[in-house]
Structure 1
Amino acid sequence: MGLFDFIKGQFIEVIEWLDDKGLLVYRFPAYDNAIKMGAKLIVRESQAAIFVNEGQLADVFGPGTHTLSTQNLPVLTALNSWKYAFNSPFKADVYFLNMTNFTDLKWGTTNPVIMRDPEFGIIRMRGYGNYSIKINDPALFLREIFGTKQEFNTSSITGFFKSIVVSGISDLIGEAKIPVADLSSSYNELSHLSVTKLQPQFAAFGLALTSLTIENISLPEEVEKMIDRKSSMNIAGNLDQYMKYQTAEAIREAANNPDGGVAGTGAGLGAGMAMGQMMGQMMNQMSARPADTQQQPYAQQAPAQAAPSQPSAQPAGKKFCSECGSKLAENAKFCSECGSKT
């Protein structure tokens, strides 16, 4: 093998990218090896290939098998001032771009988003979901995002686009003024509106936002507890009945936990106070009734019967007759002198 044959063997004759490995952009490893004029460029479906000459984007190729020549490299030919057919090797960087849809990219609020709700006032919300993107304009994406890296995957841009998604969704929910209690029934509508709203920002980088999903929007724990209490009250219907139910439940818990220590004592005291308040309300209601209504149970009772008369008892200790003044014998019923009844 001669020197010319050895050098000729180093020229690149086939340019292709077989394994995308989840990459958005892949730089073909030509390094200092020159590309042979007449080499085959194989671009598969869902791929695009771009030639870059000394940092300048030249020709873009879509799917298919292309034989490289000055005829199908017009921009590169103009950059290198090839005025006639040129069969010698040339140097250029070749980038393959993955044009498939990249799905299940996550978004979520790092910090709570402050919103104004018509029912609960100012609240803090968190949310998360996923979105999908694809390269829409290869040349624009290469200029704006990729640069001169060897490889480029989705993790290199998800942090940047996640902040764009969170900001857009937060702004959309704020403008929609949907009560937090109704947000869960509006996830699909909000997702479609978010795609429309955010599309121009993705297009500015040569990307297309193909889908976006809102999986959940959650509220702080204290707001969720407030909603739970309100739901319980609505289910109970009558507030007085609800309070009686709560009091009975507290008494039952205290009775089932007599050795509950401080917590049990507190529960018992709370139940006792609640019962005291209820008894006070009942007494106030009774005192507010008319006087004749209050005395009615006593008026219906039978009047007391008069006790039968009893004969008056003989005064104890009488010693002289009231008729003749003679001294009477002890316990005598008649005077021994005049015969009068004592």
Structure 2
Amino acid sequence: MGLFSFLKGQFIEVIEWMDSKGSMVYRFPAYDNAIKMGAKLIVRESQAAIFVNEGKIADIYGPGTYTLSTQNMPLLTALKSWPYAFNSPFKADVYFVSTANFTNLKWGTTNPVIMRDPEFGVVRLRGFGTYSIRVGESDVFLKELFGTNSDFTTDQISGHLKSIITTSISDLIGESKIPVMDLSSSYEELSASALERLQPHMQSMGLILSSLMIENLSLPQEVEQMIDRKSSMNIAGNLDQYMKYQTAEAIREAANNPESGAAGAGAGLGAGMAMGQMMSQMVNRPAEPMTNVGGDRQHDEGTRSSTGKRFCSECGESLEGSAKFCSSCGTKCNG
């Protein structure tokens, strides 16, 4: 906080602020003390000092060291109707504003964003990332956000900014119509577009959005499982690749289950290879010609068993003696 030395009742002779981490605005604690005309004002790099008289912003100072006088406080001099070369102590509120970058601030979706995907239909997306801001116009920031607090940190504004960022990115993703399968390769482009889109909102509050990054856009677990299944099916479309895939899966399962030992690894490997080979043979085996059975259901001869008995070659029923026709199905059997 401010490093200064004074006793209550004395005039303030030095006005300064040593930045504290996370503080965007600091109100100099003047208490009931009056500021001595000719006091020293120290404004460090990445700071701005603002003098406020009865709620009205007067003079603003950038980095440097100033000896306060009517010459370098023209607006405050006019507001107080001071005569030229006024040398008496005076009262005013002094605010220090940090103009440094506040980095690694987080944003994320509180609720999933619903969007329409050409392949998966309506899906729900969650996202998160980081952003950086800094004060661009100290007086605008003081009017729009700070008010009359004695201290103001990024925690007091992060919730508001998070809502603005999330809403803008949600609209951007929906309007981009990028398929969910391609979102991960578009983070950089989406981040740049979001930064450009959000800048006017930030400037209206006296802020500048220094950077914005989309780190992740995630799908619900059931949609991710659907994508995994589709990937497996694409691999299975090539049986040779599918056999290799099954083999690799068997090895991985064995490695993750050391209790199964070599026997488990061998069984899994054999099962994967056998399945791949079986499917390959089924696809590559030539089709067998179909037998065209005549309308009279006639066969050249019946079927004989190893004992010499005759059976109908159509229905398998036993043929009596030298019968020419099957008594069950009526098929004529010669021989």
Does the TM-score normalized on the shorter chain lie above 0.5? yes
Partner of 1:109: 109
Does the 8 A contact of 2:137 with 2:206 survive in 1?
Answer: yes
Partner of 1:137: 137
AA matched with 2:150: Q
Distance 1:75 1:45 in 2: 23
1:299-335 Cα shifts (integer Å, max 9, x gaps): 9xxx99xx9xxxxxxxxxxxxxxxxxxxxxxxxxxxx
Partner of 1:121: 121
Partner of 2:268: none
1:1-342 to structure 2, matched below 5 A, reads 10-238=10-238, 289-291=289-291
Does the 8 A contact of 2:59 with 2:74 survive in 1?
Answer: yes
Distance 2:201 2:8 in 1: 47
AA matched with 1:187: Y
SS at match of 1:49: strand
Query: Taking structure 1 as reference, are residues 287 and 231 closer, same or farther at Cα in structure 2, changes over 3 Å only?
Result: closer
SS at match of 1:291: coil
Distance 2:288 2:79 in 1: 103
- Structure 1 residue 233, shift from structure 2 partner: 0.7
AA matched with 1:64: G
Does the 8 A contact of 1:40 with 1:68 survive in 2?
Answer: yes
Structure 2: runs of 5 or more not aligned: 1-5, 254-274, 294-299, 309-335
Distance 2:67 2:287 in 1: 105
Distance 1:167 1:219 in 2: 18
Distance 2:74 2:198 in 1: 36
- Structure 1 residue 289, shift from structure 2 partner: 3.9
Partner of 2:262: none
- Structure 1 residue 92, shift from structure 2 partner: 0.2
1:237-277 Cα shifts (integer Å, max 9, x gaps): 159x979x99xx9xxx9xxxxxxxxxxxxxxxxxxxxx9xx
- Structure 1 residue 18, shift from structure 2 partner: 1.4
Partner of 2:311: none
Distance 2:61 2:287 in 1: 95
Distance 1:205 1:286 in 2: 75
Distance 2:24 2:8 in 1: 32
With normalisation by structure 2, the TM-score equals: 0.71
SS at match of 2:82: coil
Question: How many pairs are equivalent?
Answer: 260
AA matched with 1:115: M
AA matched with 1:214: I
Distance 2:99 2:242 in 1: 61
Distance 1:10 1:286 in 2: 106
- Structure 1 residue 9, shift from structure 2 partner: 6.9
Does the 8 A contact of 1:133 with 1:210 survive in 2?
Answer: yes
SS at match of 2:186: helix
Distance 1:109 1:197 in 2: 18
Higher helix share: 1
SS at match of 1:85: coil
| Coordinate RMSD, CA, aligned | 3.4
Larger Rg: 1
Distance 2:178 2:108 in 1: 20
Does the 8 A contact of 2:19 with 2:98 survive in 1?
Answer: no
Distance 2:40 2:287 in 1: 104
AA matched with 1:140: V
Partner of 1:311: none
Distance 2:202 2:287 in 1: 74
Structure 1: runs of 5 or more not aligned: 1-5, 254-274, 294-298, 308-342
Query: Taking structure 1 as reference, are residues 7 and 185 closer, same or farther at Cα in structure 2, changes over 3 Å only?
Result: closer
- Structure 1 residue 31, shift from structure 2 partner: 1.4
Does the 8 A contact of 2:125 with 2:219 survive in 1?
Answer: yes
AA matched with 2:165: V
- Structure 1 residue 83, shift from structure 2 partner: 2.6
AA matched with 1:182: D
Distance 1:140 1:20 in 2: 22
- Structure 1 residue 22, shift from structure 2 partner: 2.0
Query: Taking structure 1 as reference, are residues 287 and 12 closer, same or farther at Cα in structure 2, changes over 3 Å only?
Result: closer
Does the 8 A contact of 1:53 with 1:76 survive in 2?
Answer: yes
Distance 1:144 1:207 in 2: 10
- Structure 1 residue 292, shift from structure 2 partner: 6.4
1:10-39 Cα shifts (integer Å, max 9, x gaps): 000000001323200000000110000000
AA matched with 2:52: V
Distance 1:203 1:166 in 2: 17
- Structure 1 residue 177, shift from structure 2 partner: 0.7
